[in-house]
Structure 1
Amino acid sequence: MKTQCDSIGNWMKTQQRVALLVYPVSGAGGFMLGGVLGSGKPVALFMSKPPVIIAMLVSIAILVPACYWLARWMFNYSFGKHLKKLNENINALEEEK
């Protein structure tokens, strides 16, 4: 049971670390795709204006921490109570010995 609990905890942490690498890329890609589809211009022309680049950087700076916090909350909401109960059961079994 300890191994299972540790594995789930490590998996959650790994997913959150990987997400920190994925969120900026997906945020930039989504910004560019939405801008290109909305404006009808090619990517090079759409991204050639400094205000667009600044807006993309600002949106990434806002979305990455917000998504990271939301992902942590969702992991704790989904698995937190089960991991807590599993730890309580492990502690109860260890005290029983």
Structure 2
Amino acid sequence: MITITEYSVDLLKDPFGILTGERYEFTLELDVPEDDELYSETGIDVRVLYRVEDGVESIVKYELIDKKTAQPLDFELETEELAMIESFCNNNLPKQ
């Protein structure tokens, strides 16, 4: 099972006022066990675009990123991993 070891979160500005609600970008540093298919010696981050609108909070998009090259990886998270990340984002939204 993956573990989140560090994170950062930023409120994204919409200079044109096109998007409704608020968008946050989370960057999560993961600790991945060596026997997991996501494992990389250089480390893995997850970049998450998270939406808050009318009391509904959800992941809009996420990308797995190789820490050394900063390139996206062609993997997807398992359902329970994605649910854990969504819960983490929900619990770590900046206080307004």
Q: TM-score, normalised by structure 1?
A: 0.29
- Higher helix proportion (structure 1 or 2): 1
Q: TM-score, normalised by structure 2?
A: 0.29
**Greater relative contact order: 1 or 2 (C-alpha under 8 angstroms, separation 6 or more)?**
1
Q: Of the two, which has the highest radius of gyration? A: 1
- Higher strand proportion (structure 1 or 2): 2
